[in-house]
Chain A
Amino acid sequence: MSKPLTFQETVFRLKQYWSDRGCIIQEPYDVEVGAGTMAPETFLRVLGPDPYRVAYVQPSRRPADGRYGENPNRLYKHQQLQVILKPSPADVIDQYLGSLEAIGIDLRKHDIKFEEDNWEAPTLGAWGIGWQVMLDGLEITQFTYFQQCGGIDLDLVPAELTYGLERIVAFLQNTDSVYDIEWTPGVRYSQVRFLEEQQFSKYNFELADVSMLWQLFDLHEKECQRLLKFPDAVLPAYDQVLKCSHVFNLLDSRGAISVTERVGVIGRVRRLALGVAQAWMKQGQANQEAVA
């Protein structure tokens, strides 16, 4: 193999590859999310009858996964490259395999398998059918055909490809720790991100003020409910859902959510998400009627 790609070259190549296949290249969403799926470019755009193709890197925060920068494979925040192809083309798997070739993986020299893994996000009322894609025994991508989002059956079935960038690049560069990844020549991943992992682990597990977080949760929830009463504030309302979801994750990593509370809190986030999805659909219909 020729010299493996750096972290940022890998991102460039994937973006270029999907740009060549008709995707809008978006920038990351600027509200904390736990996964690329939660960015409105996925959660809202998969709804309704309009085709859409988009790719973006989404830094994804999972407070409970933090390890103070001490674990070579676990991160509080990792980067996902998210691709949505709506509707999914018939040769979607071939296109996906082509993207691996594009980042320097000679598939004839490797072992690739698609193993059953259905994705579900109860807080978003979303689920899909799919696989984890295994490359030489390593899970490198989650591949999902969305079926439902925000509790709504999807008009067109999108394919969602979620690449775990750190894993893929660590594989390409053959490093045992994500911190040793070459981000760009002469700069390692740890130089860019280690402090963040360390400090946010401390915040998420030790410093976050639990009573303040509960207040924030209530405030964001109220704001979302208020916004949902306006016909043209769906996007701002969805930001509030994301805020609630992130605060919930923080509370969880602080161990502040008891058994009895847990189900209830998840239900509160879910209700907001379903409300937003319905409002988005309604807005879409109104817009179409206006055009007609």
Chain B
Amino acid sequence: MSALPFLLEIGTEEIPDWMITPALNNLQDMFQALLDQQALGGLVNSVKATPRRLVLQASSLIERQPDADELVMGPPKSAGTGAATGFAKKMGTSLDQLGTQSTAKGDYYIFTKRTPGLATAAILARDLPNLILKIQWPKSMYWNGKGSERFIRPIRWIVALLGNAVVPFEIGGVHSGNATSGHRLLGKSSILVTSDDFEEQLKTNGVVLSAEERLEKIETETAALAEGKGLRVKPDPDLLHTLVYITEFPTPILGSFDRQYLELPQEVLVTVMRHHQKYLSLQDTNGNLASHFIAVMNTNADPEGLVRHGNERVLRARFNDARFFWDTDQKRSLEARLPDLKNVTFQAKVGSYFDKTTRVVELVKQLGGDQHAQRAASLCKCDLTTDMVKEFTDLQGIVGGLYAQAQGESKEVWRAIYDHYKPLSMEDEIPATPQGRLLSLADKWDTLVSCFNVGLIPSGSRDPFALRRAAQGVVRIIVEGKLKFEFPKASEELREFMRDRVEYYFRDVRSFAYDEVRACMAAGWSDLVDLETRLKRVQAVRPTPDFEPLAASFKRIKNILKQAGYTDGGTYREDRFEPGPELELHREIRRTDGQPLEARIGPLRPKVDLFFDKVLVNAPDPEVRRNRLALLHSLLQEFSTIADFSEIVTERQAP
């Protein structure tokens, strides 16, 4: 049986760039699972996409499913030929086709029932429509009327080829075939293809199918545009990813703008170029922003310079707007804008940004913020009333900081305002100054408390107010800013939520072992800087030979105490210890008292081992028993300020 290649192309209208990669992965997984479940052989070789097509290519599919043999047990031989004939009839065969098999219960009739395999093309034709419609999208639509199929955007054509034969099926009135569609302007709208020439045909019709190739095209041509002009492109992988997935044939062009706009803050210029126009910015040899930009077209050339001219014109209008906002916004100081915040909603159930400001100022004060921090807190949200932030919302905070600077606020104040939304992501830095860190922390903590108070609690993937990010920011600022911050009293739900974020941070971001994180958090996590120190210490002693055995013993101790129902924290009596392992353990605890964890593990471990080897904790005499339990309890207590070592997962588990 020959091995066949398979090609699937789902042709659509423009899919949002950020949804494409996850959808491709989803498609690949589901298709491979289909091949495996149906035993069709075959392996997905690649999934590729442009905004208008999702393409999957697989190889080595077999033409037909193998026949499936199923052994069916019939009646016992002892039941006679009557029963056997009945069985044969049920199996659609005759008596002489039955076999027999000996079992412990005697001989039985058997029959090997053969289900012929289906043609691969038939299986694909049957299962592909559902599979395609099952691709997961963040938001889907219907286009053929109420109740019809849903997809991210309308499906307009489908190519499905097994070998060179069309796998026939239909989705929403579109029949699969062997005709693809080229670039909207550079290609033909109907092109017959085969599995072999598919990608080549697309290329001659203005479509670069591979995202890597498109990226390379953008990068090479961009570098060529900048070369020899003393320009360097500011690296921006996220923007490049977007550009790769909003184009089928990307071609960068170089544009420029009047140098007079460089008087505006770089942050504003870059935001306008990046977020609003999707332009790459350029730097001169000194690292300053250059009065040029790179726009990436979805076509092959700009022969008359019309595209460059058009983009320059749009950018000029945008920069003029920004300059207008900058000038008019300055007519009212941030301070004068404070009352206006009463009209800006923070959250409908929570109230206005004015209310929030009042709370944040108070919290900054409580946390020991200096005059600068308090001043920054009172001004930090005022930029929400400026035209600049209304237009360029990504610049909130940054604009406030720049305005504060222009209005003569101290460096400490403006920098704190500038930074107070940081960190915006796991990769983003925390605020640069102590005042900034305190302000950012207070702002985020207030957001968390306020939202939790009115029941706005993230659940599953739903987190519309980005509370996880806020909480993660709080954790990072405390730990990485080395802040003495004990979480104020909070609801049980918020405490649980924060505990999860703390655990996530140390485990997934800082890569501490999960059991170390659990052990150390069990000893307390209200002081995160202290928690980090303890984690580092535990991590350091973990590989030493005595640690894990001792940890295993601790687990055993915990179990013993639990089984004994021991809750008494009382002291033990030294004079009651029997000479030998029991007394030695006690003396070793005493001897090493006050020494750091790292120094105690080595000497204590053999004593603990010996104790468990030789001493019966559950002594018949209740007084002796109580005394021994108290000794073990005190040993646990000795380390409990660092970690609960019984949480450490060891090779040698306690019995």
Contact = CB atoms under 8 A, between A and B. Distances in A.
Interface of A: 71-74, 87-88, 90, 93-94, 97, 107-116, 118, 128-129, 131, 135-138, 145, 147, 153-157, 171, 174, 176, 255, 257-259, 262-263
Given A109-B303, A110-B306, A136-B306, A73 B185 contact: no
A196 B374 CA distance: 46
Interface in B220-266: 246-247
Given A90-B156, A129-B153, A157-B145, A71 B321 contact: yes
Given A90-B173, A138-B310, 18 more contacts: A71-B324, A93-B184, A109-B306, A111-B299, A112-B298, A113-B247, A114-B13, A115-B246, A116-B16, A131-B14, A136-B314, A137-B314, A137-B315, A156-B146, A174-B313, A176-B313, A258-B343, A259-B348
Interface string B624-636: 0000000000000
Interface stretch (B135-143, B479-487, B639-647): B135-143
A93 B13 contact: yes
A281 B589 CA distance: 83
Contact of A259 (B246, B303, B324, B342): B342
Nearest to B18: A116
A116 B15 CA distance: 8
A116 B317 CA distance: 22
A180 to B, nearest CB: 13
Contacts of A118: 139
B313 A259 contact: no
Interface residues of B, number: 49
Interface in B112-142: 139, 141-142
B370 to A, nearest CB: 31
Interface of B: 13-14, 16-17, 51, 139, 141-146, 153-154, 156, 173, 184-185, 189, 246-247, 277, 295, 297-299, 302-304, 306-307, 309-311, 313-317, 320-321, 324, 342-345, 348, 351-352
Given A118-B139, A155-B146, A136 B310 contact: yes
24 contacts: A71-B321, A72-B317, A90-B154, A93-B13, A93-B184, A109-B306, A109-B307, A112-B185, A113-B246, A128-B141, A129-B141, A135-B310, A136-B306, A136-B309, A137-B295, A137-B314, A145-B141, A154-B146, A156-B145, A157-B143, A176-B317, A258-B343, A259-B342, A259-B351
Given A71-B324, A137-B295, A108 B185 contact: yes
Contacts of B184: 93, 97, 112
Contacts of B304: 109
A155 B145 contact: yes
A176 B310 contact: no
A116 B277 CA distance: 13
Contacts of A136: 306-307, 309-311, 314
Contacts of A111: 295, 297-299, 302, 307, 310
Task: Give 8 closest A-B pairs by Cβ, nearest first.
Answer: A136-B310, A116-B16, A114-B14, A111-B297, A137-B311, A129-B141, A137-B314, A259-B345
B156 A114 contact: no
Nearest to A64: B390
A136 B309 CA distance: 8
A99 to B, nearest CB: 14
Given A87-B145, A259-B345, A110 B310 contact: yes
A137 B272 CA distance: 12
Given A114-B51, A116-B16, A153-B146, A263 B310 contact: no
B79 to A, nearest CB: 61
Contacts of A257: 343
Contact of B345 (A115, A116, A174, A262): A262
Which of B51, B143, B316, B343 neighbours the largest number of chain A CB atoms within 10 Å of its CB? B143
B359 to A, nearest CB: 15
Nearest to A154: B146
A88 B173 CA distance: 14
Contacts of B51: 114
Nearest to B324: A71
A258 B13 CA distance: 42
